[in-house]
Amino acid sequence: MPRSASDSDEQPRPSRRRESKLRRAERLSAVQVELRRLYPDVDCALLHRNAFELLVATILSAQCTDKTVNLVTPALFAQYPDAASLAAAEPARLEKLIFSTGFYRNKAKNLIAMATLLVQDFDGEVPRTMEELLRLPGVARKTANVVLGTAFGIAVGVVVDTHVGRLAQRLHMTGADNPVAIERDLMQVVSQADWVWFSHALIWHGRLVCAARRPRCSVCTLAPHCPSRLV
């Protein structure tokens, strides 16, 4: 997954215009209806077979694309298929396997520490609560939300990565720049039943259409409901 909810080289956002609560609610409802039409069954792009693999892959996705992570994880999981084997990993060997994901020394350190804590405190299993996941090294709210929502179908928040943050700002679903504040705003305007799907839908739309530097507004079917459209 991309780095954060902010993107310094993207097109500047236009100034906000006053919008009535009713008009805003209608517009945001139309956005969600169109996203549902475009991405009815969208899912996480990180390849995984279980919650442990998803947790590892999401930690690796920091400052790295999902495509690169997916190239790395097959060999990684062949060597370290569970928490116990990863906890016992030799740092230098692990670093070599994940080198292309960037920040590989820190990531290797976090992965080994995370796996060690899973073995010590959770019998090697990935916990199913936000509070427990946040105890794990390398895990913040974004990673915890990915694991809870995708692996366990538990919606306690909205995943906010670069794409989600950028589109939420462009669609005027939030005026915040901080990922935690963006998440809070999205949780207020999207039904909890849709939190998991909604974040995946925005991520895919950000990849395919609403790019950071060159948003394809002329072909975007969200454009009629987007205050930031360039057409």
Residues annotated as catalytic (active site), given as ranges: 142, 161
Question: Can you tell me the distance from the alpha carbon of 171 to that of 72, in angstroms, rounded to the nearest whole number?
Answer: 34
Outline where 147-194 has alpha helix (H): 152, 162-170, 179-189
Long-range pairs of 111-116 with CB within 8 A, sequence gap ≥ 24: 111/56, 111/59, 111/60, 111/86, 111/138, 112/86, 112/87, 113/137, 113/138, 114/55, 114/59, 114/86, 114/138, 114/139, 115/80, 115/83, 115/84, 115/86, 115/87, 115/89, 116/87
